[in-house]
Amino acid sequence: MLKDIKGVGPKTLSLLNKLGIYTVEDLVDYFPFRYNTIAPTRLEEGEVVITGIIETMPMTTYIKRNLNKLSFRIETDEQLVNVTIFNRAFMKNNLRRGMTVTVLGEYDEKRNTITANNIMLKEITDTYIEPVYHVTSGITSKLVGNLVKNALDTNPTITDYIPEHLVEKYDYPDKNSATRLIHNPEDLSSMDRAIERSKYEELFRFMFKINYLKSCRTEVDGLFRDTSEEKVDDFINSLSFNLTPDQTSAIRDIVRDLKSSKRMNRLLLGDVGSGKTIVAVASVYYNAMSGYQSALLVPTEILATQHYFNIAELFKKFGLRVELLKGKTSKKEREVILGDLANGEIDLLIGTHAVLEDDVVFKNLGLVITDEQHRFGVNQRSTFQNKGTLSDVLYMSATPIPRTYALTIYGDMEISIIKTKPSGRKEVKTELAKTKEIKSILSKMLEEIKLGHEVYVVCPLIEPDEESTTMDAVTMKDKLDKAFNGKVPIGLLHGRMKPDEKEKAMLDFKEGKTRVLVSTTVIEVGVDVPNATMMVIFNAERFGLASMHQLRGRIGRNSLESTCILVSDKNAERLKVLCNSSDGFYISEEDFKMRGEGDLFGVRQSGDMVFKMANLKTDIKLLTVANVDSSEFIALNRENDFEDYPEYARIIDELGHID
């Protein structure tokens, strides 16, 4: 038990829980996020690391409130030296004459004084590697390190997920030794090997899940459809616009999957505004012509409503029935919809995850489409299986992930990519501005408003933060109300608002009742407002490039000139990528290089892909090796159900094994 570890009392236990540490295994797996390398130096002007023996009793001087000074002298190999450190009065009881300490700080030769920034209660004679842990208020990195050491002293059971033959193949240290070396490095070489082993283990486990799911998919029989592929041309020819070659190709990919004897599991990857939805609608049409129902799941009710009206209009001439199921649907209306759905009278049901509820029963569900990056897990797929069908699944993502990474990260899926945008849409002009240029920015906003257009204003925070100068949405709305003298109706939208409030704010903006919408990134996935022609993003340096590309995709959804203004007083070079390109795939590559996979994929909140040590940006080669190794491992052990590897049998149980 974690509470049984030496040094873990009720308060510390609560703080560890805040860090996501609930078990002894969590604690020993809580790895440092970086290391300080400390090596002894000579006593000379500038930064020094000096070991010496305390020669005088430490004295504390209180200069003023919140400022104190701790002073003493140490005897080094070279001479006596004065040591001063500020706001460390609490250390006095830990220091005594005759004790050996190492002082890190700035040496002033004239005053023969080291102004220290750290004092270590040990002698350092060689390079010392100090692990640094992520912490929260009330707990220090040093304390976390001590608790980890205490936990390791109890010899806890540490599960090793790397098969023994692979440990031998790559000459990795055993799991127990590697864990201890990561927390208490002996030297840089052994530390690096231990870290590589840990990264490989994480990536191997991840790719095992991906490849196992992929192997399951290839074994699952799909639904029978013998409808001609050309049938979908009836729908395509009915459109008032021409599809792009990428859209046409994606539709052909999906139709071939639907006709296949195997179950479809395809990702439709497209840049903002590339026309993914019409591809999905064409797929629904073909599925309906084959006698099956479809479900379209979207992240918000307002987006579901938008899809409902647009798709119902497209299907009207074909006699296909589309219904909308959302939280506001009345009990009476819901009963009618569910009854008709169960009788097979509804061809397409659109809604949020409420469509997954137990009382939503399809007669013959054949196709499930999830919109805007909402990729269902195996348990949710099983929910559809429990509804009596092995439906084909299509995922849509507006995050243009570089293909190299997409093929690995979404390795259990087939991928269709849409890069070209529909004709008639103008490129969004993107420009940089400084905060001091606010008057010019307001003037440009007012010009658009007078032309009858709408303007988005995006801020990183919802409310003011005392420790930050970053602009927040609430304050920005107040400032704009004053700047426009209350003559311009301004709306507010952010994640803490209730669903009804969000929907009203978005509808008011779409209908022109409010002319400016101040928002956080919740509009990144949102409703089309064709009349919106300007977006101003404050503190643009706080956002990833890919995220801002998604945001500016909310404008330029028409034939009007549109402008995105990035307001920032720093990181101008990075932001110029957006000014110079509208290619989401290129931008995502650049974002990946600069910021890493967390910002690119949004994976820090996605469970499986929250790695403790591995980094998809820097460890792509290791990921590739783990991908190959895990595939071979599955092939060798699939027939005997991994009986020699109980830890992987457990992982399969957690995945929800698909027979």
Mode of pairing for the β-strands spanning 100-108 and 113-120: antiparallel
Q: What is the pLDDT of residues 287-313, one digit of tens each?
A: 999 999 999 988 778 788 889 999 999
Higher pLDDT: 311 or 426? It is 311
Q: What is the pLDDT of residues 511-532, one digit of tens each?
A: 999 999 999 887 756 568 889 9
* Pair of tokens at residue 69: 């000074």
Cα angle 600, 603, 609; round to 5:
130
Closest CA to 575 of 605, 603, 551: 551
Average pLDDT over residues 210-224: 76
Provide the 8-state DSSP code for 95.
-
What pLDDT score does 301 carry? Answer: 80
- Total domains in the fold of the chain: 4
As a whole number of Å, the end-to-end CA separation of the chain is: 37
What pLDDT score does 127 carry? Answer: 86
Provide the 8-state DSSP code for 77.
S
Amino acid symbol at 184? N
602 — pLDDT class (breaks 50, 70, 90): very low
What pLDDT score does 125 carry? Answer: 85
659 — pLDDT class (breaks 50, 70, 90): very low
Q: What is the CATH number of the domain that holds 75?
A: 2.40.50.140
What pLDDT score does 180 carry? Answer: 95
Higher pLDDT: 214 or 37? It is 37
In a domain, 308, yes or no: yes
Q: What is the mean pLDDT of the chain?
A: 87
Average pLDDT over residues 192-202: 96
Rg (CA), the chain: 30
What pLDDT score does 544 carry? Answer: 83
Please check the confidence at residue 565 and state whether its pLDDT lies above 50: yes
Query: Is 366 in the same domain as 266?
Result: yes
Average pLDDT over residues 334-345: 95
Reduced to 3 states (helix: H, G, I; strand: E, B; else coil), residue 633 is: helix
Reduced to 3 states (helix: H, G, I; strand: E, B; else coil), residue 484 is: coil
Q: Tokens 């997409």 map to which residue?
A: 406
Q: How many CB atoms lie within 10 A of CB 571?
A: 13
What's the sign of the alpha-carbon dihedral 651, 18, 182, 158? negative
593 — pLDDT class (breaks 50, 70, 90): low
In a domain, 235, yes or no: yes
Query: Is 640 in the same domain as 590?
Result: no
What pLDDT score does 299 carry? Answer: 79
* Candidate from 415-429, 519-533, 595-609 with smallest mean pLDDT: 595-609
Reduced to 3 states (helix: H, G, I; strand: E, B; else coil), residue 220 is: coil
What pLDDT score does 455 carry? Answer: 97
* Candidate from 196-205, 212-221, 605-614 with smallest mean pLDDT: 605-614
* Secondary element (H or E) of residue 102: strand 100-108
Q: What is the pLDDT of residues 483-507, one digit of tens each?
A: 999 999 999 998 888 878 888 898 8
What pLDDT score does 584 carry? Answer: 82
In a domain, 397, yes or no: yes
Domain limits for position 551? 429-605
d(CA 347, CA 337) in angstroms, rounded, equals 11
* Residue that terminates a domain, selected from 418, 447, 475: 418
170 — pLDDT class (breaks 50, 70, 90): very high
Amino acid symbol at 613? M
d(CA 170, CA 402) in angstroms, rounded, equals 29
Query: Is 462 in the same domain as 562?
Result: yes
* Residue that terminates a domain, selected from 393, 418, 443: 418
In a domain, 135, yes or no: no
* Residue that terminates a domain, selected from 418, 446, 461: 418
Query: Is 247 in the same domain as 391?
Result: yes
> Residue 561 burial by CB count (10 A; 0-12/13-18/19+): exposed, middle or buried?
middle
* Candidate from 76-80, 167-171, 190-194, 208-212 with smallest mean pLDDT: 208-212
What pLDDT score does 604 carry? Answer: 32
Query: Is 241 in the same domain as 277?
Result: yes
In a domain, 450, yes or no: yes
d(CA 456, CA 605) in angstroms, rounded, equals 26
d(CA 638, CA 327) in angstroms, rounded, equals 43
In a domain, 28, yes or no: no
d(CA 338, CA 267) in angstroms, rounded, equals 29
Query: Is 183 in the same domain as 296?
Result: no
Closest CA to 368 of 265, 282, 214: 265
Contact call for residues 457 and 481 (beta carbons, < 8 A): no
Query: Is 287 in the same domain as 370?
Result: yes
Query: Is 565 in the same domain as 504?
Result: yes
* Secondary element (H or E) of residue 167: helix 164-169
Query: Is 451 in the same domain as 530?
Result: yes
Please check the confidence at residue 138 and state whether its pLDDT lies above 50: yes
Higher pLDDT: 429 or 619? It is 429
Q: Tell me how long the chain is.
A: 659
Query: Is 108 in the same domain as 193?
Result: no
Query: Is 243 in the same domain as 346?
Result: yes
Higher pLDDT: 188 or 377? It is 188
> How distant, in Å, are the alpha carbons of 267, 359, 363, 508 from that of 296?
14, 17, 16, 25
What pLDDT score does 466 carry? Answer: 59
Query: Is 407 in the same domain as 457?
Result: no
376 — pLDDT class (breaks 50, 70, 90): very low
Average pLDDT over residues 114-131: 91
413 — pLDDT class (breaks 50, 70, 90): confident
Q: Which residues neighbour 617 within 8 Å (Cβ) at sequence distance 6 or greater?
A: 592, 593, 596, 597
Most confident of 319-323, 566-570, 624-628: 319-323
In a domain, 32, yes or no: no
Q: Which residues neighbour 386 within 8 Å (Cβ) at sequence distance 6 or greater?
A: none
Q: Which residues neighbour 194 within 8 Å (Cβ) at sequence distance 6 or greater?
A: 173, 177, 178, 179, 181, 182, 185
Q: What is the CATH number of the domain that holds 261?
A: 3.40.50.300
Q: What is the pLDDT of residues 461-491, one digit of tens each?
A: 888 765 567 788 999 999 999 999 999 999 9
What pLDDT score does 44 carry? Answer: 92
d(CA 637, CA 30) in angstroms, rounded, equals 31
In a domain, 615, yes or no: no
What pLDDT score does 557 carry? Answer: 79
